[in-house]
A and B are shown apart, each in its own frame.
Chain A
Amino acid sequence: MTTNPNTAPTSGGTAVGTGGSGPTSVRTGPRPAVLRRGLAVGAVVAAFVLVFLLLAVFTAGTSGGEPFDVRSARPHGTRALAEILRARGVSVTPAETVPVGRRSAGTVVVFQPGRLDRDTLAGLLGQVWQGSDVVLVGADDAVLDVLDVGVRAADENPGGGTVPRCALSEATVAGTVSLTGSLAYTRAAGGDRSGMRAEFCYGEPSTAARLAVLTPGGAAAGGATPGAAAGGGRLVLIGSARFLTNGDLDDGGGAALALGLLARHDTLAWVTPTAASHDAVDTRGPFELLPGGVRWGVLQLAVVVVLLGLWRGRRLGPPVAEPLAVVVRAAESVEGHGRLYAAARARDRSADVLRAGLRVRLAERVGLPLRTGPTGAPEPDPVALVAAVARQSGRSPSDIGSLLYGSGMLAPIDARPGPFGRAVDQARSRGLPPEPPAWPRPSAQPAGPGANPTRSTGLDRAADQPDRALMALARALDDLDRQVGGR
């Protein structure tokens, strides 16, 4: 049916070959520059979108469940520990806030305690005194200062000490546990003011311990070990909780230590504060949260900036000076004069000059000779000029005379439309010669307040009126100019 091979529906790789070789209207040669550039920009944008989508897909795939989530079975989750605890009869309750108002003693694990506010931390300490176990994971100096239990974060890294090296019964039972992380604890310099006895385990217990267990009243109890106070509450500080996760629970004695620390009561509240409260104790700024490499990176950026300055600052020869000729606009002085007149409000002078200029123009137009007038400037004969202009414009000689040879400006009048323009318009519309206008109009016009609604009594308006009169005069002169045949 179709005879043209180019329009025939083809399939597969041959379609390109047959379509390209046929005599179709395919344009050959390079594409126009605009199209090329557009294509390039489009390709770059498309590539960006593609990369972003791919990244989004892959990162979304790996981000299932929060770390230390008791419901998460991923390596960084803690579901295994939770199941073991439940099997032992401990009810594990995940929460985002610290439970308050509990009667019976239980265990509370708080991750990132820096996100809690002062009162909540004090409440937790109170629970310890009431017999509860409180485990703070990753409590730093900000938290410890609030708790004020005679423990501070150690300055030095304890290294990979995995042996308990302390008398805590849970630790000795658990044995080797790989506790990691950068946080470690040591005894505060101020001594023990809170009446709690502290036991440090793992790492270097004398200078930097991974695990600190504080027992209320321990100081009073003398040499009794913390483990002996089985019924009382404890405050446990752990630098890192890696050994609790699904992935690391079976590593060494991690599970034993976890059970020893967390399974002393029937209830376990698993608190992971999701967002810091507005008065959280740990209020580190964004710069303190940056990893250490960033500061060096910023330093390198400074180097980049210096190099950038060197690169752009070293120019390829200096700018070349142009020996400029003095060039001013020829009409500059005229405009300056105009501004001077306006600044000095020399309205009378402006009005006189406008009149004189029109007189000369009209005289040339009606063919009158110019003589040297009294001021030295060439002037036409006034009588002849008024007569000739009145004849040509069809207006009354007195009107023309007052317009061309009047002195001063128009009396205060409305700006729009000028009295002469209005009179002329009326005369034109009626086909009559215009009436002589009220010129010079008496300046003290006893007009009622309602007679002229546009006039206000403001001071600026009072200063404005002579200006408007000047403009009205200029328009009236223009009208006359047109009537006698100009432009």
Chain B
Amino acid sequence: MAISGRAVALALCGVAFVLVSPAPGLTLVLVNLLIVVLVAADVAFAGAVRTMSFSRSGPTATRLGQPVPLVLAVTNNGTRTVRAQVRDAWSPSAGAQPRVHRVVVPAGERRFLETMLTPTRRGDRTPFRITVRTLGPLGLAGRQRRHHSPWRLRVLPPFTSRRALPAALARLREVEGEVAIRGAGAGSEFDSLREYVIGDDVRLIDWRTTARRGAVVVRAFRPERDRRVVCVLDTGRTSAGRVGDTPRLDHALDAALLLTAVALRAGDRVSLIAHDSVPRATLPGSHDQAYLARVSDVMAGLEPAIVEADHSGIVTSVLRATSRRSLVVLFTELAPAVIEEGLLPALGTLTARHTVIVAALRDPRLDELAAGRDSVRAVHTAAAAEQTRMRRRELAETLRQRGVEVVDAPPASYAATVTDTYLTLKSLGRL
């Protein structure tokens, strides 16, 4: 049961009647009795909500920031026409519009309502409930009830670094030697034999074949294929820090997606591990192209956890996930507590078997703070920022001394820098 603004307006008109009436007390009672009677009649004649049924259709996944139209079918199984307000409620981050639908469904018919969802957060979005209010013929009052129609919309990471993909793939082709440039492809894996052209390194001449063929023949190489890349996402407390407008974890997901896309194209096997104090997600390696979609799907559910990352656990997970020599890309933060207490002790076993990249995100806000000179407090804050920068530099240096590649890049170039480092290592044959 619910009343509408019309009932209030009616009562307001009653005020005028009471004011001008010669018998105001009696008029007041009559006016309000009339309102009560009309409201009761309206409720009695309103369409039944209980017998309505709802069903949904539409896409089940979207990338963050892309609007999704979902269709809600409203069926009136009652005997009276239903004039309804339907609120299809989702959590705020689902960005459901419009908030309330108005629909008229004659008895025994079905109408379709379109709810446009514009999610503002990654992860699974489910509808909360459907609230229906049907108004009576006078529009004074009506009935209200809730319904449920389950659905799940998976919001995938936005993959904003996709625009860096063409450049990365171009560099990959260059590395693989598919581009007609001098020096051909780099790498260590034997590819084919071809005729010598002026400018080729004489050390690459294959003398045996040259003797057999009567023409000078050189060995051509190409980068190794079918290598293994392990993306390790640290979802511990440091990944919750917001850099710009997105948490560190989301920047890391973006970079991991770009790396996965390029590595799959390069013919490598990519696997994914998300870990804080416990493993959150593990996706075994694959090199089929649909793997990227699976990675996106797994990433959609990842959230930062307010726990300290267990780096020895991460190392164990990595060692268990791959037995062959791999490139381990660890997306984490260059914080003293993380690196010194967690990663450094466990690093030895990792670097002994694998090539390791530590990819950290540099916060541009730190540079802004370090340049602050406006007030005494700003200078103190600048000193604190300077201190943090020096600690990061120091940690990066320590890691490099242990044979780890360190990427420390601002958000704008983070994904591209990580992928570049991968390509550089690949071209150097260090995978």
Contact = CB atoms under 8 A, between A and B. Distances in A.
Interface in B1-28: 2-5, 7-8, 11-12, 14-15, 18-21, 24-25, 27-28
Interface of B: 2-5, 7-8, 11-12, 14-15, 18-21, 24-25, 27-28, 31-32, 35, 85, 87, 89-93, 100, 121, 128-129, 131, 133, 144, 146, 240-243, 247-248, 303-304, 306, 363, 365-366, 369-370, 373, 376-390, 393-394, 397
B382 to A, nearest CB: 7
Contacts of B378: 338
A27 B209 CA distance: 84
Contacts of A338: 369, 377-378, 380-385
Interface string A453-487: 00000000000000100110011001000000000
A300 B242 contact: no
A82 to B, nearest CB: 35
A335 to B, nearest CB: 6
Contacts of B366: 331, 334
Contact of B14 (A300, A310, A311, A330): A300
Contacts of B28: 296, 299-300, 303
A56 interface: no
Contact of A325 (B24, B247, B385, B389): B247
B373 A475 contact: yes
Contacts, number: 187
Contacts of B369: 331, 334-335, 338
A478 B365 CA distance: 19
Contacts of A301: 15
A475 to B, nearest CB: 7
A357 B390 contact: yes
A357 B363 contact: no
Given A316-B85, A330-B243, A349-B383, 13 more contacts: A329-B241, A338-B378, A338-B380, A338-B382, A339-B380, A347-B380, A353-B383, A353-B384, A354-B382, A354-B386, A357-B390, A378-B393, A470-B379
A341 B378 CA distance: 10
Interface in A289-330: 292-297, 299-301, 303-304, 307-308, 310-311, 314, 316-317, 320-323, 325-330
A327 B35 CA distance: 52
28 contacts: A293-B21, A294-B19, A296-B18, A299-B28, A304-B8, A304-B14, A314-B3, A314-B144, A317-B89, A320-B90, A320-B91, A322-B92, A323-B91, A325-B247, A328-B242, A329-B365, A331-B369, A334-B365, A334-B388, A337-B381, A337-B387, A338-B378, A339-B377, A341-B381, A341-B384, A342-B376, A347-B380, A471-B379
Contacts of A323: 91
B100 A330 contact: no
A293 B386 contact: no
A360 interface: yes
Q: Taking chain B's interface residues, is the majority helix, strand, or loop, or is none over half, making it mixed? A: helix
B27 to A, nearest CB: 7
A378 B24 CA distance: 91
A360 B390 contact: yes
Contacts of B393: 360, 378
Nearest to B249: A325
Interface residues of A, number: 58
A377 B241 contact: no
Nearest to A329: B242
A342 B377 contact: yes
B253 to A, nearest CB: 13
Nearest to B4: A311
A301 B87 CA distance: 31
Interface of A: 292-297, 299-301, 303-304, 307-308, 310-311, 314, 316-317, 320-323, 325-332, 334-335, 337-342, 346-347, 349-351, 353-354, 356-357, 360, 370, 376-378, 467, 470-471, 474-475, 478
A467 B373 CA distance: 12
Nearest to B381: A338
B15 A300 contact: yes
Give 7 nearest A-B pairs by CB, closest first.
A338-B381, A330-B241, A317-B131, A296-B24, A350-B383, A357-B386, A337-B384
- Best-buried of B27, B306, B384, B385 by chain A (most CB within 10 Å): B384
A482 to B, nearest CB: 12
A294 B394 CA distance: 82
B240 A325 contact: yes
A306 to B, nearest CB: 9
A370 B390 CA distance: 12
- Best-buried of A295, A331, A478 by chain B (most CB within 10 Å): A331
B11 A346 contact: no
Contact of A378 (B3, B131, B370, B394): B394
Contacts of B27: 296
Contacts of A347: 380
A331 B248 CA distance: 12
B365 A330 contact: yes
A337 B369 CA distance: 12
A370 B398 CA distance: 12
A310 B39 CA distance: 13
A328 B365 CA distance: 13
B242 A327 contact: yes
A310 B3 contact: yes
Contact of A470 (B5, B376, B394): B376
B367 to A, nearest CB: 10
Nearest to A341: B380
Contacts of A325: 121, 240, 247, 303-304
Contacts of B377: 338-339, 342
B11 A320 contact: no
A350 B11 contact: no
B388 to A, nearest CB: 5
A478 B378 CA distance: 14
Contact of B129 (A317, A331, A378, A475): A317
A250 B6 CA distance: 53
A316 B394 contact: no
Given A300-B28, A326-B240, A335-B369, A474 B91 contact: no
B397 A370 contact: yes
Contacts of A317: 87, 89, 128-129, 131, 146
B91 to A, nearest CB: 5
A342 B379 CA distance: 9
Contacts of B131: 316-317
A166 B387 CA distance: 109
B236 to A, nearest CB: 12
